[in-house]
Amino acid sequence: MGLFETMQQRSTPVRAGVIGAGTFATMFLHQAARVPNLQVSAVVDLSEERGRAALDTAGLTGTRVATSVDAVLGADDVDVVVEATGSPVAGAAHALGAIEAGQHVVMVTVEADVLVGPVLAARAAERGVVYTMASGDQPSLICELVDWARTNGFAVVAAGKGTKYLPEYHRSTPETVWGHYGFTPEHAAGSGLNPVMFNSFLDGTKSAIEMAAVANATGLLPPEAGLAFPPAGTDDLQQVCIPREAGGVLDRTGTVEVVSSLHRDGSPVDRDLRWGVYVTLEAPSDYVAACFANYGLRTDPAGRYTAMYRPYHLIGLELAQSVCAAGARGADSGRPRGWVADVVATAKRDLVPGDRLDGEGGSTVHGVVRPAAAARTGGFLPIGLADGLVLRRAVAAGTPVTRDDVEPVTGSGVAHRLRAELEAG
């Protein structure tokens, strides 16, 4: 029975509570009213006005709006908590609170998932509830492709997504970001665009975070030195995202990688995958390689590698998939199964003692995905805990920031405790 039919036949609704009323959540709310037996009981946001505006946009009535998470966490009329604040520290605390209250969690805030997701997933399993990625976001859709490939007997060579990338974007700041997007600061301000959020996408941090989430959910390994962002369009994946010895760019098979929609000279890649996701596969036998040819699949010159991709993702418009799967079936849309990858704060410029780090999307550091073992051994500072920390020694541009480079972290909140638990193994 399909999930839609399952929802149609339910005698009681799946009841959701949403924390954070930004774009992702508003998109979900807009579609939720159209899903049978899906009820949004409450929306929480620091701004009550923003919460009401999101509901008005969606045309939802009868949903309460609050500024305190107490309206959702442990509420009798909430089965599934959607965490969509975008804050890794707040997201970790909200998720743990929901899990301890016996509620399922759909983690839209992938930053929190990368910071402490493996611990949250373990706590959820102990409590008998679901902790899941958010369908519509690229990590969950990548995991879906990986699962499809493995279920059908294929070894995954690489999996990832597309983005707009040039090497100089790593140095982008909220003050310079709009030029790279072709916007004036006045247009951006008038449109309500958030320069920090857009800068996180541009400087590679968001890509690193999303690939770390995929690695932790699938076991695919991150590149040792971080993502390479090779230029590749949908017709190039099977020749680019394969091992170097086969003519591609990968250091190894079974990895994550992000492809760029721009060539290094800034010219556009033909048939780019900027909004999509992909997986590359290797034929396990000559018979399967012949099947690739017989059914028109694009392959590398040797005919051994091919790719499957999805050109777009619909963000919050697809989130009901995860909410319904968790609430109606107790199923996830991808979840961390181990600590495989981490995202470490890396200096954008030469930093000096006394500099204050400003975290994801800021002007001082960007995130680089690294193997979790290397992050632990190197004592690297996770990007999710970098905001507000003060350097006590210099860090050269392009160098990971370590915990010894900053003034001692004295945080004792939920995120810090869960992170310590994760690092302790």
The per-residue pLDDT for range 66-94, each reduced to its tens digit, is 999 999 999 999 999 999 999 999 999 99
User: Considering the domain 341-424 in this protein, what is its CATH number?
Assistant: 3.90.1210.10
Give the model's pLDDT for residue 411: 66
Q: Compute CA distances 299 → 240, 263, 281, whole Å.
A: 11, 21, 10
Nearest to 78 by CA among 112, 28, 44, 50: 44
Give the model's pLDDT for residue 43: 98
Positions in the chain whose pLDDT score sits under 50:
none
- Specify the CATH class of 3-136+316-329 in words: alpha beta
Give domain limits for the chain: 3-136+316-329, 139-165+204-312, 341-424
Do 3-136+316-329 and 341-424 have matching folds?
no
Question: Which residues lie below 8 Å from residue 82, measured CB to CB, with a gap of 6+?
Answer: 16, 17, 18, 19, 20, 25, 28, 106, 108, 134, 319, 323
